[in-house]
Amino acid sequence: MLINRNIVALFALPFMASATASELSIGAGAAYNESPYRGYNENTKAIPLISYEGDTFYVRQTTLGFILSQSEKNELSLTASWMPLEFDPTDNDDYAMQQLDKRDSTAMAGVAWYHHERWGTVKASAAADVLDNSNGWVGELSVFHKMQIGRLSLTPALGRSLL
């Protein structure tokens, strides 16, 4: 049985955007994970944290979104995002894994749907590689709930991503 450990540490500084009710937050984070690849060492990455919510445009971590349709409970958006997953066979200790092709991070474009309820938000999204680095697709189905504790926001989430 393979058990992956993932740890994400996130730090953000809130700033107010000028002349609107929109809020801008900028910060940095770090993510650590054990690689699912045999012979591949652990991986730590810096993650930019940018959050901006406008009337028709948003930035959520590494995703830009253009809102096509929005109601009190639903939001449909076109998205563009950075997919930081990569694999370098020269960093691998296993001979068989060293024979694989290098995989670079890439840009993705797709669509996202959010459904908001009092108990949380459901997100369904799909995106495709637009730089032709992987010829891949990503699908996600998740549920999350933002909890405000004073000035601190915590957003636990449960979901499934298909790569």
Look at residue 1 and tell me if it is in a domain. Answer: no
Examine residue 31 and state whether it is found in any structural domain, yes or no: yes
Is pTM, for the whole model, over 0.75?
Answer: no
User: Within a domain: residue 113?
Assistant: yes
| Number of domains the chain contains | 1
Which comes out higher in pLDDT, residue 103 or 128? 128
Give a yes or no: residue 20 inside a domain. yes
Domain span at 30: 6-162
Burial class (CB in 10 A: 0-12, 13-18, 19+), 53: middle
> What does the pLDDT look like over 24-75, one tens digit per residue?
888 777 776 666 667 766 667 777 778 899 999 999 888 999 999 999 999 9
